[in-house]
Amino acid sequence: MENLSAGILRLLNKLGFFARTLGAVGAFIKNRNVSLRVLVMQIYFTFVQAMGISTLLALGIGGAINAIGLPVLERISQQQLVYSLLIIIITRELGPLLTAFIVIARSATAIATEIASMVINHEVEAYISVGVDPIEYLAAPRFLGVTISVFLLNIYFSVFGLAGSFAVAQVFHIIPADYYFSSLLNNLSIQDIFISIVKSLFFGMLISIVAVTEGLSVERASTEVPVAGLRAVSTAFAGCIAVNIMLSAMFYIVF
C-alpha cells in the first residue's frame, strides 16, 4: 500500500511538473533567451547524433520483414500483404517505439544525470537566487528539444525502414521500384501517419518530463546522480510501453 501511494504521488508530481513546463515553454518561445542554445544542442545530441544507430536499426528491420515475410506470404499467395505489414510494423507500431527507446538510452540518462549534478552543485539554487526560472531555463528547452527530436527521428526511421525493405526486395525478388512504392502508398493511410505522429509526440514529452523530474529529485549526495539516471531510464521505458499500448488500443477501437 505504501509503494502504491508513493507511486501515485510521483505520478501526480510529474503531471504537475508537466503542466508547469508547458507554461514555461510559452515563456521560453516568447522570450527567446540564452537557453535557446540549450534547445539547439539538445536537438543535435538527441536527433542528429542518433541518426547513425537509427539508420542501422531501420534498414535491418525493414530488410528482415521482407526477407522473412515475403517467402511466407508467397506460399499462401498473399504477397500483397507485405506492404500492409511494413506500414503496420515500421510506421505505426515498431518505428515510434524503437526511436523512443533509442532516445531513452542516449538522452534520458544524460539529461537526468546532468540536472542531478547541477542540483548537487547548487547551480539550480544559484539560478533561483538571481531571478532565473530554472523550469524555463532548464526544463523547457530540453522538453522541446527531446519532443522535436523524437518526432524527427520517427520520420527518419520510417523512411529508412521502408528503404531497407525495398533494398531486400530488389536483391531477392526484383520488384519494380514504381510498383513497390505505389503499393506502399496505396496501403499507407492518413490514420497510420496520424497515430505515428501522435505516438512520437507523446513519447518525446514523456521522456523529457521523466528525465528532468528524476534529475531534480536528488537531494545532496553525489551517489544519487547515477541512481537518478537509472530511474529515468526505467520509468521512461515503462511509461512509453504503457502509452504505446493505450494509444494502439484507442487507434484500433476508433479506426
| pLDDT value, residue 33 | 61
Phi/psi of residue 174, each to 5°? 50, 60
The region of weakest confidence among 25-39, 96-110, 145-159 is: 25-39
More confident of the two residues 82 and 120 = 120
- Mean of pLDDT values over 93-116: 92
Cβ neighbourhood burial of 9 (10 Å; 0-12, 13-18, 19+) = exposed
Summarised one tens digit per residue, pLDDT across range 209-231 is 999 998 888 887 788 888 889 99
Contact assessment for residue 111 and residue 214, using Cβ atoms and an 8 Å cutoff: no
196 pLDDT band, cuts 50/70/90, is very high
| pLDDT value, residue 32 | 62
When divided into structural domains, the chain yields a total of: 1
Mean pLDDT for the chain overall: 83
| Crossing angle of the two packed helices 140-172 and 36-46, in degrees rounded to 10 | 20
- Mean of pLDDT values over 34-53: 86
**Structural domain for 129, as ranges:** 2-254
71 pLDDT band, cuts 50/70/90, is confident
Stated pTM of the model: 0.87
3 pLDDT band, cuts 50/70/90, is low
Check pLDDT > 90 for residue 200.
yes
Contact assessment for residue 149 and residue 103, using Cβ atoms and an 8 Å cutoff: yes
